[in-house]
Structure 1
């Protein structure tokens, strides 16, 4: 594939909270973008911006030469790639397939092998940075796959993110994302407990943040999600239900490797408890409710 923009036709599948902003940034970078989502209403904003709507995954696969997927769960990835009207079956030889969903490393490897057998180039490229990073094209993109394929589509990644690293062969991007989610899981507990502690101690939590976010305790979650917690904003930048999915994948992978992850297990149990109370569609910062409501 030539990296000449005029010859690139991007098919973007999955226009939710993250995908919508990512596709928007591709349009802003003057790429031709076709979109598909199970609920067309979620793609209307992109269509108004110039994206071309397609009615099926098969149509996207048959016309695009770069296909990006950003769907919800591994079962959705499986369906989109391996269904009868899916990408593997319908993509043109030589096309580049980029799954940016946080999904199973084993599934990423399965997609790579199936794509290679059909003359397709597959990369797993999950992202981090939340809704803010997606909107501002500052996502961290963790890539697994062949170096030549990575270099061919690097300009496309650069339209969506800033920290773009090829981590290794197929599945390496997903394994790296699991490292990211494991680090976030325990950190979110710490952020929530720190803010709850500040409130109980009679401090002004916003002032506490000013002192601790730039020191050794600093983290993305502390700077970006703690203010949302304190203002009562629990709207999703990243859904609890999707974080639970990620933590389960990470825990399964860790067990396969014989690795103990007690922090991950605790975080998963707390988020599962919140989901059972109806918070599965809230943002991950809603973990704060566990502390302020009990």
Structure 2
């Protein structure tokens, strides 16, 4: 027999916390995967990426592979899950613990019950969420994933270079140039030398015959020059000198300005050049940009990264890539030489779509954790006992396992300003709108984070979100 607390009812309260986390994560993951499916990503590639990221959960590790294999994701009665979520919400009301995500989870579950009927199972939510998104989460992937050397390939999307006629002027020459680059150490340009860009540029030094760098801050440029890079006086000079140009700037608008703005690179780009966008950006804007560059004989590969500056430095970085096939092959080899694991998701924009899928689950599971743990604390539950139970139960997520141990110590779990988290959530919900999917839970989380930017400040670290749930007092 296990002892779950000092008070009568503690065991039932811990069960309620687990069940509401499990239900919210279950529906969130289905919503996000449906969005990815509509964006052109395969189920197999999404499962691989999710389970190597902060979006990982017991549901993603167990139920998603079962779903891919054509098996039920859960046999729990929907009426039982609604009852359990109702219990958690009632406890939250009594404890003055607001639970907006739990309330939205309950609404989605009720929608499922109303749609399927009183005998509905939790597995039926796979079809309910899929229908709401206008897709099927049970249908097999259109093209089987091919996994080799830690590279996952999705079917290429028809955008950018792939949208051009096979005999388009310069297309054959461009692809031949890409093939030649694989056999050599290219001349690389790097633009955007903040914390992440600096770490990535350092890795590029090892993969380049020459590295040319540019940033609006001369001190950042000097730091790379001291390591052996060459300072570019302007964007045009860098563009004319380089075979591959990598960018780590805030987003798609800055990428466009770097290419086509005043003093931008476009007039100086040589046919056959590859642009690698390592920012987190909009799939739709990336596809439009890829088409414009393709008309110049230039390929765009979106290759956002996961793992932060530490991952770039120690070689544990994950690059999520999309682009024209010959350019992808070149960039995969280059990023591998820079110490990154590479996953290729198909055509232009698909790398950004995959990154947003990962970020959506990571951000939303964090808020689900704060909301549920706040309830537990206000009910007087022991956090160590709660953690021991949840980590063996259906409500476990990577966010929970990372956050709870740090609540008492106050140590940061990540380095991300709220302004950037809000930007990511805007991109996520815009992608959902572009794809025609509701993304109900991500929209709730976006609203909470947007409000937090105003309350806590745009420069507050992501861990400061705990203050919204009265959890900051644990480390005070």
TM category (shorter chain) comes to 0.7 to 0.9
Contact 1:147 1:166 (C-alpha < 8 Å) held by counterparts? no
Q: Whole-Å Cα distance in 2 between the matches of residues 49 and 225 of structure 1?
A: 36
Contact 1:10 1:34 (C-alpha < 8 Å) held by counterparts? yes
Counterpart position of 1:258:
436
Change in Cα spacing, 1:11 to 1:265, as seen in structure 2 (3 Å) is same
Note the alpha carbon deviations across 1:223-259, whole angstroms, 9 max, x for none: 5555555433459623221221121122122123321
Note the alpha carbon deviations across 1:127-163, whole angstroms, 9 max, x for none: 222343333222222211111111112122212422x
Q: Using the TM superposition, give the Cα deviation of residue 176 of structure 1 relative to its aligned residue in structure 2, in angstroms.
A: 1.6
Q: Using the TM superposition, give the Cα deviation of residue 204 of structure 1 relative to its aligned residue in structure 2, in angstroms.
A: 6.5
Counterpart position of 1:239:
417
Q: 2:323 aligns with which of 145, 157, 160?
A: 145
Greater CA drift, 55-64 or 95-104:
55-64
With the length of structure 2 as denominator, give the TM-score of the two structures: 0.55
Aligned-residue RMSD, C-alpha: 2.8
Counterpart position of 2:227:
49
Counterpart position of 2:80:
none
Determine helix, strand or coil for the equivalent of 1:15.
coil
**Richer in strand (by share):** 1
Q: Whole-Å Cα distance in 1 between the matches of residues 217 and 292 of structure 2?
A: 28
Q: Whole-Å Cα distance in 2 between the matches of residues 194 and 181 of structure 1?
A: 20
Change in Cα spacing, 1:215 to 1:89, as seen in structure 2 (3 Å) is farther
Counterpart position of 1:98:
276
Greater CA drift, 24-33 or 274-283:
24-33
Contact 1:9 1:63 (C-alpha < 8 Å) held by counterparts? yes
Note the alpha carbon deviations across 1:43-100, whole angstroms, 9 max, x for none: 4433322222223222221211100111013321221121132232221221111111
Please give the residue correspondences for 1:83-94 in structure 2 after superposition, counting only pairs within 5 Å: 83-94=261-272
Count of paired positions: 292
Determine helix, strand or coil for the equivalent of 1:86.
coil
Contact 1:112 1:121 (C-alpha < 8 Å) held by counterparts? yes
Q: 1:133 aligns with which of 311, 319, 322?
A: 311
Contact 1:235 1:283 (C-alpha < 8 Å) held by counterparts? no
Counterpart position of 2:181:
2
The reply to whether residue 273 of structure 1 matches residue 451 of structure 2 is: yes
Counterpart position of 1:291:
469
Contact 2:403 2:413 (C-alpha < 8 Å) held by counterparts? no
Q: Whole-Å Cα distance in 1 between the matches of residues 393 and 462 of structure 2?
A: 23
Note the alpha carbon deviations across 1:191-219, whole angstroms, 9 max, x for none: 32355456556667577656655765554
Change in Cα spacing, 1:49 to 1:213, as seen in structure 2 (3 Å) is farther
The reply to whether residue 161 of structure 1 matches residue 344 of structure 2 is: no
The reply to whether residue 248 of structure 1 matches residue 426 of structure 2 is: yes
Counterpart position of 1:60:
238
Q: Whole-Å Cα distance in 2 between the matches of residues 28 and 230 of structure 1?
A: 41
Determine helix, strand or coil for the equivalent of 1:153.
helix
Change in Cα spacing, 1:91 to 1:265, as seen in structure 2 (3 Å) is same
Q: Whole-Å Cα distance in 2 between the matches of residues 59 and 229 of structure 1?
A: 49
With the length of structure 1 as denominator, give the TM-score of the two structures: 0.86
Change in Cα spacing, 1:143 to 1:30, as seen in structure 2 (3 Å) is closer
Greater CA drift, 274-283 or 17-26:
274-283
Counterpart position of 1:183:
361
Gaps (5+ residues) in structure 1? Answer: none
Q: Whole-Å Cα distance in 2 between the matches of residues 54 and 220 of structure 1?
A: 42
Q: Whole-Å Cα distance in 1 between the matches of residues 392 and 241 of structure 2?
A: 48
